[in-house]
Amino acid sequence: GTGGHVFPAQAIADKLVSKNYSLHLVTDKRALKYLDGAFLDMRKTVILASGANEKFSSKLLNFTLLIISSLKIMGKFFLQKPKMVISFGGYPTLPASLYAIIFRVPLILHEQNSVLGQINRLFLPFAKKLFISFPNTKNIKEKYKNKIILTGLPIRNKFIEAMNNKKIKRNRYLKILVVGGSQGARIFSDVIPKSIQNLGKSLQERIYITQQAREENIDEVISEYSKIKCKYNIKTFFDNLEELYDRHDLVICRGGASSIAELMVFKKVAILVPFAKAKDNHQLYNAKFLSENSKIILKTEDEFCSKWLSLFIADLLNNPDKIQDIQKSYNNKYNDLHLNSVNKFVKELDNI
């Protein structure tokens, strides 16, 4: 699936491999570019289908490919006889979760978001346990509440290490990190350069931007920044996000669950702009959880505009003490929840 499914799974896989668990990864082609750590050398079954598509012909092809992949996974169940199936949601988990039920293998679900996803809702009646990342996750029927365990969202070890070895030093620059999830975000490419252009040159010179942009408009974004006095680094994807969190003062991002948990761990000043078309509006609910437990800023796509952002950035430049004020507003209870999530998750697995 997307990075939002893969990264928490990777955090758990790394820990389980260190405890000598034998693992087999089932994923799809989209996820292969995100694999790291224990996933690289692990046995894998790659789902051939490519996710949702509106065209009937594409849906028919994906259904056929999903059936073929399902037969492969059924063979794995016969030959390897797994002791447990752990599902992190998304359509690639469907075949393995189904066979877990058929072969009576304990099925453990993990929900990354504040709203239970469609696949997890489908399999919850048959699951042994449901691990959740945030309290009061929505779309869970009352009769299944006894299956819930609040584990937090598993954070990859490299993020924990970076957080424990913070090296950021304050200086006259305001360092801004802009990430749009694993796919980038067009709205950031449209709004943020304009907001910097609105500032006077003396303020522009005190800004350093690190921004993720979509491949189809990265040249346009670079062209816009070339007209401004700020320093900038624009790429389609950053594979050292843990280091970038440490180096930057302000993060502008979507409302994906991994982003929310990582912001909490690093206690970053942040502007959250949830993707309006996310299923069940889950990004908005993720972002609301963080905004209700800190002083970070939540803006809808309609509210996020260059005029407002210019004023906010100018205020941080002129009043740098506000950065520490926002950092201190984080609720340590929930920061610790995500920091300790991997150990909590694995401990609960050991008890099943």
3-class DSSP state of 210: strand
Most confident of 55-59, 171-175, 269-273: 269-273
Q: Is residue 133 pLDDT above 70, yes or no?
A: yes
- pLDDT band at residue 75 under the 50/70/90 scheme: confident
Count other C-beta atoms under 10 Å from residue 157's C-beta. 16
Same domain, 206 and 262: yes
Position 29 scores a pLDDT of 85
Q: Is residue 259 pLDDT above 50, yes or no?
A: yes
Give dist(CA 9, CA 157) in Å, integer: 12
CATH value at residue 141: 3.40.50.2000
Q: Is residue 182 pLDDT above 90, yes or no?
A: no
Looking at residues 148-169, what average pLDDT do you find? 89
Give dist(CA 305, CA 190) in Å, integer: 9
- pLDDT band at residue 314 under the 50/70/90 scheme: very high
Percent of the chain with pLDDT strictly greater than 90: 72
Q: Is residue 118 pLDDT above 60, yes or no?
A: yes
Percent of the chain with pLDDT strictly greater than 70: 92
111 class by beta-carbon count within 10 Å (0-12 exposed, 13-18 middle, 19+ buried)? buried
Give dist(CA 172, CA 320) in Å, integer: 9
Which structure tokens are listed for 4?
């939002």
Residue 347 lies inside a defined structural domain of this protein = no
Q: Is residue 55 pLDDT above 70, yes or no?
A: no
Count other C-beta atoms under 10 Å from residue 309's C-beta. 21
Give dist(CA 5, CA 66) in Å, integer: 19
Which residue did the predictor score with more confidence, 17 or 33?
Answer: 17
What's the whole-number average pLDDT of the chain?
90
Same domain, 184 and 249: yes
Helix (H) / strand (E) containing 28: strand 24-28
Q: Which of 110, 119, 124 is nearest to 154 (CA)?
A: 110
Same domain, 138 and 183: no
- Integer-rounded Cα Rg, in Å, for the chain is 21
Position 146 scores a pLDDT of 97
Same domain, 68 and 17: yes
Same domain, 137 and 193: no
Q: Is residue 60 pLDDT above 90, yes or no?
A: no
Amino acid, res. 261 = A
Residue 351 lies inside a defined structural domain of this protein = no
Q: Domain range holding 99? A: 3-150
Amino acid, res. 322 = K
pLDDT tens for each residue of 295-313: 999 999 999 999 999 999 9
Same domain, 139 and 37: yes
Same domain, 79 and 167: no
pLDDT tens for each residue of 213-231: 988 889 999 999 999 999 9
pTM, two decimal places: 0.90
Sign of the Cα pseudo-torsion (84, 107, 154, 244, in order): positive
Residue 283 lies inside a defined structural domain of this protein = yes
Position 181 scores a pLDDT of 65
The total domain count for the chain is: 2
What order do you get walking across the sheet with 207-212 strand by strand? 231-235, 207-212, 174-178, 250-253, 269-272, 297-298
Position 56 scores a pLDDT of 45
Same domain, 43 and 163: no
Site of tokens 């050398």: 41
